[in-house]
Amino acid sequence: MRNWIVLTLIAAAPCLAQAPADGSVPASSNIMGSQYPRINPDGSVTFRVQARDAQKVQLGTGSVGDSDSGLGRGPIDMVKDDRGNWTLTTKPAIPGFHYYWFIIDGVPANDNGSETYYGWGKQCSGVEVPEKGVDFYDLKPVPHGDIRIRWYFSKITGEWRQAYVYTPPGYDSSRDRYPVLYLQHGAGENVTTWSKQGRAGVILDNLIAEGKAKPMIVAMDTGYATRIGATPVPSPTGGQPQIPNAFEDVLIGEIISMVDSTFRTIADRDHRAMAGLSMGGRQTLQITMTHLDKFAWIGSFSAPPIAGFDVKTSYDGALADADAFNKKVRLLWIGAGTAEPRIHDGAASMHQALDKAGIKNVFFASPGTGHEFQTWRRSLYDFAPRLFR
C-alpha cells in the first residue's frame, strides 16, 4: 500500500530509468514526470500502457467524420511484450493536439500518464505533437494575460456556471476598457477547452506582444445549457428525444451582461465579436446572424455545413441584403482544415455563395490539418488580428 512518504516522493522522482535513448521525448501534454506517450524525431508517437492481465488493448483516436484524427483512424491494436506492457508507435502524426484513449478489454480508459482534456463528452487523454518551426502557441518571454475562472448564476438554467475569461496583459494596471471576443468550443467539450487544449490565452499573448492583435478580453463558456424544467422534444434527426440547448438564451440574456458588468469592456456591437469551432462555429453563425444588434465580428471555425444554406433565406434572411449586411458586419470569417474534406468543402461552398452574393467575407484553409485543434489554433491566429480595427 502506498503511504504519504511514497506520495511525497513520487512526483519528484519520475521514472528516470525507463526513458529510451532514441531521441524521443515525453509529450508536453503528459502529467509531471510521465515518460509516455513519447514524441519521436519523425513526429510519430509511441504509446505505452501496462496491462499484464488484459486480453486486448487498443488505441482509440478522435476521428470525426471524414477528418483525419492526426494519429490515424482508431481503434488500432497495441502489442504486448513479455513484461505486460502494450505498445504502439503511430505513423508520423499531423502536428497539433490529438485526443486519444486506450481500450482495455473493450473498456475506454484514459492514459494515466496524460493530463486530461475535456473532449468527447468526458475528460480525455491528449497528446501534443509539435509543429516544426511554428511557435505562435508556445509560451514565450512576453507579458501574459490571466485566465480568470468566474462563477455566475444563470436564472435560465437555475445553476451556477463558470466562465473562463482571458484578460490581456496590462489589464490590472490600466483603466482602459477593452473589446470582447466570445469564443466557443466544439461538441463534447466545455468551458476549459479553448484555454487548455486551444491555448487561446497564449496565442493572444503572443499576438498582442507583437502588435498584431489589439488587446482584448476573451470570454469562454460552456456551450450547453438546460432551461429549468425543460422536457425532451423529438429529435430533428430521428433519434431519441432531446432536451433543447438553451445556450443562445444564456449567452444573449445573461453572459454578455455578466461580462460587461464584471470586466472593463466596451459594451457595444462594434467592440463585440463571436467565434467558435465546430458546434461552436454553428452556434456562432446562428447567434450572431440573428443578433446583429449585438455583434459586428463573426468567426466560424470548421462549422459543420448548414443543410440547405441559402444566402437569401438562411438566418431569417440576415444575409439577404448584401449592402446592408456589409455595412453592419465588420468581419465574416469562415475557415476549415484541408484534412476535414466534408467540412472544408462546405465552408468553401458557403464562402463562394457569399462572394457570389456580394457579401464580404474571409475564407481560410488550414493546410494539412483536420477537425482538430491545430486547425482552430491557426484559425484564431488568423482571425484575432483582424478584430476591432
Which of the residues 197 through 236 are near a second copy (CB under 8 A)? 222, 224, 226, 232, 235
Q: Which residues from 53-112 bind a second copy, rule CB under 8 A?
A: 53-56, 63-65, 104-110, 112
- Regarding 262 and contact with a second copy (CB under 8 A), the answer is yes
Judged by CB under 8 A, how many residues of this single chain contact a second copy?
Answer: 81
Q: Which residues from 341-380 bind a second copy, rule CB under 8 A?
A: 371
Query: Which of 16, 21, 22, 82 forms a contact with a second copy (CB under 8 A)?
Result: 16
Stretch of residues binding a second copy (CB under 8 A), selected from 121-129, 209-217, 267-275, 356-364? 121-129
Q: Which residues from 136-155 bind a second copy, rule CB under 8 A?
A: 139, 141, 144, 146-151, 153
Q: Which residue has the cell 489589439?
A: 214
Cβ-based burial of 176 (10 A; exposed 0-12, middle 13-18, buried ≥19): exposed
Toward a second copy, which CB reaches closer, 46 or 302?
302
Toward a second copy, which CB reaches closer, 14 or 368?
14
- Regarding 237 and contact with a second copy (CB under 8 A), the answer is yes
**Least spacing, CB of residue 6 vs a second copy, in Å:** 8
**Least spacing, CB of residue 47 vs a second copy, in Å:** 14
Query: Which of 19, 80, 120, 134 forms a contact with a second copy (CB under 8 A)?
Result: 120
**Least spacing, CB of residue 317 vs a second copy, in Å:** 24
**Least spacing, CB of residue 327 vs a second copy, in Å:** 33
Q: How many CB atoms lie within 10 A of CB 313?
A: 12
Q: Which residues from 270-289 bind a second copy, rule CB under 8 A?
A: 278-279, 282
**Least spacing, CB of residue 146 vs a second copy, in Å:** 4
The pattern of x and - marking residues 152 through 171 that bind a second copy according to CB under 8 A reads -x------x-----------
Stretch of residues binding a second copy (CB under 8 A), selected from 7-15, 35-43, 206-214, 356-364? 7-15
Q: What CA–CA distance (Å, rounded) separates 19 from 24? A: 8
Q: Which residues from 28-47 bind a second copy, rule CB under 8 A?
A: 31-33
- Regarding 307 and contact with a second copy (CB under 8 A), the answer is no
Query: Nearest-CA neighbor of 374 among 127, 94, 117?
Result: 94
Toward a second copy, which CB reaches closer, 44 or 300?
300
Please confirm whether the linkage preceding 168 is cis (ω < 30° from 0).
no
